[in-house]
Amino acid sequence: MNLEDTLERYSSIVENELGKYFESLRLEAGGYHPSILESYKRLEEYVRRKGKRLASCSTLLTYEGYGGKIDEKILRVAVGVEIYRHSILIHDDLADKDETRRGGKSLHVMFSEVHGVRLGEGLSMFIGDIAYALSLEAVLTSGFEKERLLRVVNLFTESYRRVNESQILDLLFEREEPSVEEWYTMASKRATSLFTTTMVTGAILGGAPEEDIEVLRSAATHIGYAFDIQDDIIDTFATEQQYGRCPGGDLRKGKKPLHVVLMLELGGDEDLKIFRKLSGKGVLNGEELEILKEMLRRSGALDAAKAESIKHARKAKDFIAKTKMKEKSKKFFEDFTDYITQSLEWYR
């Protein structure tokens, strides 16, 4: 089974569980207050939009890789993983003022259209907090033994803190010019934290040997770096048809993905002067965006960033190969890292 087929199969299982979970949540909320019921309906629409469900699929495949059977317990955890992931995205959209997510409106935009911007943003913030609480509740009520659940909850709380620390730096770097080392400091707590949480959760609950837990942490760290770099390149170089949103969003905000940080080190004085004038402008026309993209290519920053992503993907595969997971699960993560490196060639 190839990567797409595997993601489709496991995503559909998780989607079914999400439907049942939100149905029970709506029943509970309906007995409390109509506004709370409406809030959960909007959260459900946001979480259940079509997507690859990479986070929960990683948990399921790792769990299965150590002999676990896909049953109600692990599916309850997978629901928690998906809601946890979206609790972060809600706040991310709000902080970055992003208006869309996976082809639909961001949660704060949905609320703002009904209640105005101040209330809409406030409601979105609180729903994001609730989503985090719901994710922990889903994990804790899954039925696994207490000791393993405690380890998983500790993973979630540690990851949540780390991700938010990285978001602080990501925002502050909009007004600064970080070094490559500083970029890695920020990125070390971003996608790396998410992949560590999702993969190690599956391993702990699936009964993985302790030595494999540490190997998986290393694998997840390198997958996270590779994914982060690739995702940022997509934001700059993909078309709206490919990406589902307006390209160059990070550049408009003045964010500093790795390919930009590398250009700040590799670019010539004239290019840097132009870049600093246009980056973070807020509104870039098509011609200005193409100018910035050409500078990233010409300086060698784009190729250097791609090389970093490929380096991390290869290291991730080396660590995955060292684990005692079943071959089916190993192949999933190996295919995913291959997909990251292969997709880099789509954006030039």
**Averaged pLDDT, 32-45:** 96
**Averaged pLDDT, 12-33:** 95
238 with 336, same domain: the answer is yes
Would 189 be classed as within a structural domain?
A: no
Question: How far apart (Å, rounded) are the C-alpha atoms in residues 43 and 32?
Answer: 17
Give the pLDDT of residue 279: 77
224 with 314, same domain: the answer is yes
- At residue 213, does pLDDT exceed 80? yes
Give the pLDDT of residue 250: 85
- At residue 243, does pLDDT exceed 70? no
132 with 247, same domain: the answer is no
The predicted-structure confidence for 92-114, as pLDDT tens digits, reads as follows 999 999 998 988 999 999 999 99
Mean pLDDT of the chain: 93
Structure tokens at 80: 């928690």
45 with 136, same domain: the answer is yes
- At residue 244, does pLDDT exceed 70? no
244 with 335, same domain: the answer is yes
Hunting for tokens 């599956």 — which residue is that? 202
Give the pLDDT of residue 271: 86
- At residue 231, does pLDDT exceed 80? yes
Would 186 be classed as within a structural domain?
A: no
Structure tokens at 146: 């207490």
Q: Which of 94, 128, 160 is the last residue of a domain?
A: 160
What string of DSSP letters covers 67-126?
T----HHHHHHHHHHHHHHHHHHHHHHHHHT--EETTEE-HHHHHHHHH-HHHHHHHHHH
**Averaged pLDDT, 266-270:** 89
153 with 289, same domain: the answer is no
Reported pTM? 0.94
Would 204 be classed as within a structural domain?
A: no
- At residue 1, does pLDDT exceed 90? no
**What percent of the chain has a predicted confidence (pLDDT) above 70?**
97
**Averaged pLDDT, 292-299:** 92
145 with 220, same domain: the answer is no
218 with 330, same domain: the answer is yes
132 with 2, same domain: the answer is yes
Q: Which of 125, 144, 160 is the last residue of a domain?
A: 160
Would 238 be classed as within a structural domain?
A: yes
122 with 271, same domain: the answer is no
Are 235 and 247 in contact by the 8 Å Cβ rule? The answer is: yes
Strand partners, 100: 105
Residue 46's contacts (CB-CB under 8 Å, 6 or more residues apart) are: 86, 90, 101, 104, 106, 107, 110
Q: Is the dihedral of CA 29, 30, 33, 36 positive or negative?
A: positive
CA 77, distance to chain mean position in Å, is 18
The residue segments making up the domain with residue 65 are 1-160
Here the CATH number for the domain that contains residue 301 is 1.10.600.10
Give the pLDDT of residue 153: 98
Give the pLDDT of residue 48: 96
Structure tokens at 101: 């997510």
Give the pLDDT of residue 245: 65
Would 68 be classed as within a structural domain?
A: yes
The predicted-structure confidence for 119-131, as pLDDT tens digits, reads as follows 999 999 999 999 9
**Averaged pLDDT, 210-227:** 97
- Total structural domains in the chain? 2
Give the pLDDT of residue 307: 97
The predicted-structure confidence for 127-162, as pLDDT tens digits, reads as follows 999 999 999 999 999 999 999 999 999 999 999 999
8 with 98, same domain: the answer is yes
- At residue 23, does pLDDT exceed 90? yes
150 with 291, same domain: the answer is no
- pLDDT range class, residue 67, cuts 50, 70, 90: confident
